Amino acid sequence: MNPDQPVAGARHERRPLDGDAMAALVARDIPRGAFVNLGIGRPTLVADHLAPDAAVVLHTENGMLNMGPAARGDEIDPDLTNAGKVPVTELPGAAYFHQADSFAMMRGGHLDICVLGAFQVSATGDLANWHTGASDAIPAVGGAMDLAVGAGQVFVMMTLFTKRGAPKLVPRCTYPLTGQACVNRVYSDLAVLDITPRGVEVRETFGIGVDELAGRLELPLMAAGS
Amino acid sequence: MTARVYVDADEAVEGIRDGSTVLVGGFGMAGMPVRLIDALIRQGAEDLTVVSNNAGNGDKGLAALLAKRRVRRLVCSFPRQADSYVFDGLYRAGEIELEVVPQGTLAERMRAAGAGIGAFFCPTGAGTMLAEGKETRVIDGRTHVLEYPIKGDVALIGAYRADRMGNLVYRKTARNFGPVMATAATTVIAQVREVVDTGRIDPEAVVTPGIYVDRVVQEADA
């Protein structure tokens, strides 16, 4: 499934987006009927913004298609969880499968989109989201590397700067890589950016202009459609 | 040999040797064969290599086995979790070896072992530190990493229902690694919620055919 065409010129909103607003933007851009995997953490919020009639089918890597919302009360079943081990529900048309099938589905190109969090994304689409590389950190990769190489489109949801103000969209990742040249689009608090063979294209900005953003990132940016 | 149904979990885990590679099913606690792991703890085998998606949650199941220091080496995809404190302590103290494998590659390496595949080229992890030192090949313009099978001496898996032939069905996402691990070990021991008479499972619904299963024990005494 192809992403929708970039809008001509970048759209400007007045203020940076919060996590929910970022999730709403991702949900807006997921085509009707797409098969989608939402990563653990912030990307999970996207599910709350998918319209019921959008017929998007959620894949959870622990072995299920057409996953429903989080389970509450009597719905909680220890045999039915998402990839974050949170109890979830099943929707009509759900299917269960084992781990080798679940990942064959990813690597085989059957998933249209995955949405992942990230520590860093490079201007050429390298992704770093599994390990800080710190000597006392316990590395844990889960399905992140499989999704990065397998999903048709890889969307990243992240703030564009760390709490200390360091850019997370960088010329070259300094954290250990999850995948090379795999990210297609970044949804952030300040901008939506496409990673293209021509460079990084700005689709929309929120509370900041393209030139100022390029200055803060110290990266060349192009307006989409320019 | 067709499967044998055991009443006693301690008998079901007899013969597991020190130094064995043990495949342990489950994704978090879903599908984890806690009764079999408890029996393995009593059985006493040590110096084990355990292959499992996670590194134990809380104090039960795999976490309890780790706490007894029976595991020398852990092969898993996602050790670090909010409640993986038993593993975290051992790892930080340098008392357990860890091999991190991408989740899909972990499953496929066991699938390969069970399917008689000598090795396979996989794009996952190419260009990352998890592929360091591994042979690579560019296929169709894309770098692939050579991955070798993971074979177990023993698999301990959880399933929902078994018949007396060892045919298994699973329940919801608790299926996870069970069907793959069942193919990949010399001795496969399944813990199930119920054992039914042969013929009571719809053959169309069997997920793990009994040919893969050696021993079956119920999760709780009937």
DSSP codes joined into one string, B3-22? -EEES-HHHHTTTPPTT-EE
d(CA A37, CA A83): 10
Mean pLDDT of B136-150: 98
Among A102, A136, A178, the residue with its CB nearest the CB of B128 is A178
CA nearest B122 in A: which residue? A107
> Which residues in chain B touch residue A77, judged by CB atoms under 8 angstroms apart?
172
pLDDT level of residue A149 (50, 70, 90 thresholds): very high
CATH 3.40.50.12780 for domain A11-223, yes or no, is no
Burial code (b: 16+ CB inside 10 Å, e: under 16) for A117-136 equals bbbbbbbbbbbbbbbeeeee
Handedness of CA B163, B165, B168, B169 (dihedral sign): negative
pLDDT level of residue A11 (50, 70, 90 thresholds): low
Percent of chain B at pLDDT exceeding 90 = 96
CA nearest A129 in B: which residue? B128
Cβ-proximal residues to B169 (8 Å cutoff; 6+ apart), any chain: B159, B160, B161, B201, B205, B206, B207
Instruction: Quote the tokens at residue B89.
Output: 């302590």
A85, B130: Cβ pair inside 8 Å? no
pLDDT at A1: 41
CB-neighbour burial class of residue B58 (10 A; exposed 0-12, middle 13-18, buried 19+): middle
Q: Write out pLDDT tens, residues A171-196.
A: 999 999 999 999 999 999 999 999 99
Residue B22 identity (one-letter amino acid): V
Is the pLDDT assigned to residue A9 strictly greater than 70? no
Percent of chain A at pLDDT exceeding 70 = 94
Residue B110 touches partner A, C-beta closer than 8 Å = yes
Is the pLDDT assigned to residue A133 strictly greater than 90? no
d(CA A70, CA A30): 20
Residue B212 touches partner A, C-beta closer than 8 Å = no
Q: Torsion angle of alpha carbons B48, B54, B55, B59, nearest 10°?
A: -110
Mean pLDDT of B130-155: 98
Cβ-proximal residues to B111 (8 Å cutoff; 6+ apart), any chain: A100, B117, B180, B183, B184
Mean pLDDT of A89-101: 97
pLDDT level of residue B222 (50, 70, 90 thresholds): low
Q: Write out pLDDT tens, residues A102-132.
A: 999 999 999 999 999 999 999 999 999 999 8
Q: Looking at chain A, list the stretches that DSSP marks H as alpha helix, in order from N- to C-terminal side.
A: 19-29, 99-107, 144-150, 210-217
Mean pLDDT of B140-153: 98
Average pLDDT, chain B: 97
How many Cβ atoms from other residues are within 10 Å of residue A70's Cβ?
16
Interface of B with A in 43-82 (CB under 8 A): 53, 57, 77-81
Q: Looking at chain B, list the stretches that DSSP marks H as alpha helix, in order from N- to C-terminal side.
A: 9-12, 34-43, 62-67, 85-92, 103-115, 178-181
How many Cβ atoms from other residues are within 10 Å of residue B92's Cβ?
11
pLDDT at A13: 63
Instruction: Quote the tokens at residue B105.
Output: 């590659």
Beta bridge partners of A96: A64
Interface of B with A in 15-34 (CB under 8 A): 27-31
Mean pLDDT of A38-52: 92
Q: Domain B4-103+151-195+203-216 carries which CATH code? A: 3.40.1080.10
Cβ-proximal residues to B11 (8 Å cutoff; 6+ apart), any chain: none
The owner of tokens 């090379």 is: A180
Is the pLDDT assigned to residue A3 strictly greater than 60? no
CA nearest B107 in A: which residue? A100
pLDDT at A10: 53
What's the ipTM? Answer: 0.96
Mean pLDDT of B45-63: 96
pLDDT level of residue B131 (50, 70, 90 thresholds): very high
A141, B102: Cβ pair inside 8 Å? yes
A195: closest CA of chain B, how far (Å): 19
pLDDT level of residue B220 (50, 70, 90 thresholds): confident
Q: Looking at B84-221, list the stretches that DSSP marks H as alpha helix, in order from N- to C-terminal side.
A: 85-92, 103-115, 178-181
Torsion angles phi and psi, residue B22, rounded to 5: -115, 120
B172, A142: Cβ pair inside 8 Å? no
Average pLDDT, chain A: 93
Chain A / chain B CB contacts < 8 angstroms: 147
pLDDT level of residue A225 (50, 70, 90 thresholds): confident
Is the pLDDT assigned to residue B171 strictly greater than 60? yes
d(CA A88, CA A60): 10
A80, B178: Cβ pair inside 8 Å? no
d(CA B192, CA B215): 11
Least-confidence region, from A62-66, A91-95, A220-224, B151-155: A220-224
Taking the domains of chain B in order of start, what are their residue ranges? Answer: 4-103+151-195+203-216
B45: closest CA of chain A, how far (Å): 26
The owner of tokens 């999970």 is: A44
pLDDT at A40: 87
Q: Is A212 a catalytic residue?
A: no
Mean pLDDT of B179-193: 98
pLDDT at A4: 43
**Among candidate residues A191, A155, A187, the one with its CA nearest the CA of residue A11:** A191
Residue B89 touches partner A, C-beta closer than 8 Å = no
Among A81, A97, A106, the residue with its CB nearest the CB of B28 is A81
Q: Torsion angle of alpha carbons A101, A106, A112, A115, nearest 10°?
A: 120
Is the pLDDT assigned to residue A224 strictly greater than 60? yes
Least-confidence region, from A96-105, A182-191, B79-88: B79-88
Taking the domains of chain A in order of start, what are their residue ranges? Answer: 11-223
Degrees, nearest 5: CA angle A33-A38-A41:
155
Is the pLDDT assigned to residue B130 strictly greater than 60? yes
d(CA B174, CA B176): 5
